[in-house]
Structure 1
Amino acid sequence: MHQSRRRDRRPARRTPSEPAQQLGFRLTALGADVVLVGFFSAKRKDYQALMASAAAELSVRGARVVAQMVQRQGVSDGGALKMGLPYSSRTLLSYGKVREVAQACEHAKAEAVVFVASLTPRQRRTLTGMLGCTVVSLADILASDRLTD
């Protein structure tokens, strides 16, 4: 006997309780000490200029950049072979770089980590747990400024 189709009764995906745009804006509006982190491919040669412009954007918004870290994918001989492979979708960084960022946050007593790259909500939650401070992306901060204007 053929069974009729039932509606899918799975709950909808959860949305974050507090939008990242509001969170990012509040961090920089209060003049927080932040660690700036960039993730770039080895093919990207202008990464230092991008980091400098991101630091300038944050300082205009009242944040103090206390440390800058860069993760470059595919720079070493072994890494160049892995450039075609996907990066860590969980953290966007290697485990060693996550430890370095965590140490920089602890040493500088940073209130937040700002990534130059866009982050998914899962990456944001994972990195917040691993680093011990709030994690946002620069795109979220810039988008929140556009929403408030």
Structure 2
Amino acid sequence: MVLVGFFSGKQKDYETVMAEAAARLAADGGRVVARIVQRRGVSDGGVRKMSLPFSSRTLLRQGKVREVAHAADRTDADVVVFTNSLTEHQRLSLTALLGRPAVGLADLLGSG
């Protein structure tokens, strides 16, 4: 699986969050083959919108969606897991764009 995280530029511990998510997935029998991070608010232009997704449809920028799709294809991943919760609309849109299921970590592991 490909693990994806969307983080505010203010969140400095994003690497820890990604490592913990990968560990939780491994403990549940999953194998993370790629990790991709999208950060918002790192550049001057994004500071005001730091906590908002880049896209209400996909959460990520389109270029990052392409990067995730490429990583999933290259590694033959069967699912893309987001550290973030996804709306139903985001889940359906990302599943269509990525060509494989896109799910939130909490949904996959059945916890909050």
Q: TM-score, normalised on structure 1?
A: 0.70
Q: 2:83 aligns with which of 113, 116, 126?
A: 116
Alignment partner of 1:50 is 2:17: yes
RMSD of aligned Cα (Å): 1.7
Residue in 2 aligned with 1:80? Answer: 47
Task: Give the match for residue 141 of structure 1.
Answer: 108
Q: Deviations over 1:81-125 (max 9, x none)?
A: 443766311000000100000000010000000000000111000
Which of 107, 115, 126 matches 2:93? 126
Shift of 1:43: 0.6
CA distance in 2, matches of 1:86, 1:69: 15
Alpha-carbon distance in 2 for matches of 1:115, 1:59: 15
Moved over 4 A (4+): none
Structure 2, unaligned stretches of length 5 or more?
A: none
TM-score (norm 2): 0.92
- What are the ranges of 5 or more consecutive residues in structure 1 without an aligned counterpart? 1-33
Cα separation, 1, equivalents of 2:29 and 2:52: 37
**For 1:10-49, what aligned pairs fall within 5 Å after superposition?**
34-49=1-16
- The number of residues matched between the two structures is 112
* Structure 2 partner of 1:106: 73
Q: Which has the larger radius of gyration?
A: 1
